[in-house]
Structure 1
């Protein structure tokens, strides 16, 4: 075997080893499949215990006559260590979802949803809410970070269905008046 062929064969075998190693790491699998539990994943917290809830955030899902879809509120500040109950009401005519994740996870999940638009969720960091219905998600925020919540049904995020959560080690006091 000549040197060029040997080097090519060596490179190909090394690149396939990386693919095999990646296959067991959770990468390349469904991006939302318990991604928050992977060791190298950005910390977004974990499912919360209902008995430990420290705060409830009410979120409304709305659709406008012009086709805009939104969460109200779309920006939420949460204190690190809080266990939050998200009480989500779908006031719109369409079914929606509330998916909580890191910005990278949301980007991966968005691509996955484009390839699998009929996929149903069964993850602790996501709920599907039918039109006119309500549901809740309980989450413990254990790290200071910024997260996104989003509806990734095809076209919904693009129509405005996304928001941010900022997790801090302190919250500013509420102003009076």
Structure 2
């Protein structure tokens, strides 16, 4: 192969890779994307602070407890009603045979988070019915950022496990709770939160 053809193929490959990342970055929208470490993303930079619809709460000051059951591929209940300003202590259990996630966010947030979860699957962190915890601690990029899943609005659980998310809802909006493990959201593992 001539050096011209090799350079053309290399340029096309790089261009296609860059083009493929644009929709993911744009889908996140401003202010609602998070990565490991519990830091929220705002226009591509890490920051601590609330998301557009709320912020982490304290279990001791929760107004009420809601139990969430995750199964293969649905939530029980599928809809929730909360009041703006209310702090909810979600007690989440995975009664399915697969790894599932309970994640609070806007539809745009979930689209962006699905790309992160796909990367976790591609790197061998998500293994269908279990999590490779050792791989979770491996760096993802030059900044030493890992694939840990420690978001304050979310919990990732293996089958038979349970955990807690405590969230204060600050404003009404289009809010969902969803499992963003690849394929689960598309299979219908999403519910709605009605904030009054």
TM-score scaled to structure 1, two decimals? 0.68
Name which of 28, 40, 59 aligns with 1:35.
Answer: 40
Is 1:73 the equivalent of 2:77?
yes
Equivalent-residue separation in structure 2 for 1:93 and 1:129 (angstroms): 11
* Cα deviations by residue, 1:96-155 (Å, 9 ceiling, x for unpaired): 111111111111111332244234411111111110111110000111223111111111
- 4+ residue runs of structure 1 moved beyond 3 angstroms? 36-39
> What is the total number of aligned residue pairs between the two structures?
137
* Cα deviations by residue, 1:65-96 (Å, 9 ceiling, x for unpaired): xxxx1001111110111100111111111111
SS in 2 for 1:114: helix
Structure 2 runs not aligned, ≥5 long: 1-27, 126-146
Superposed counterparts of 1:15-164, under 5 Å = 31-33=33-35, 34-35=39-40, 43-63=52-72, 69-117=73-121, 118=125, 119-164=147-192
RMSD: 2.8
The higher radius of gyration belongs to 1
Equivalent-residue separation in structure 2 for 1:27 and 1:160 (angstroms): 23
Residues 92 and 164, structure 2, Cα contact 8 Å, conserved in 1: yes
Equivalent-residue separation in structure 1 for 2:77 and 2:55 (angstroms): 22
TM-score scaled to structure 2, two decimals? 0.62
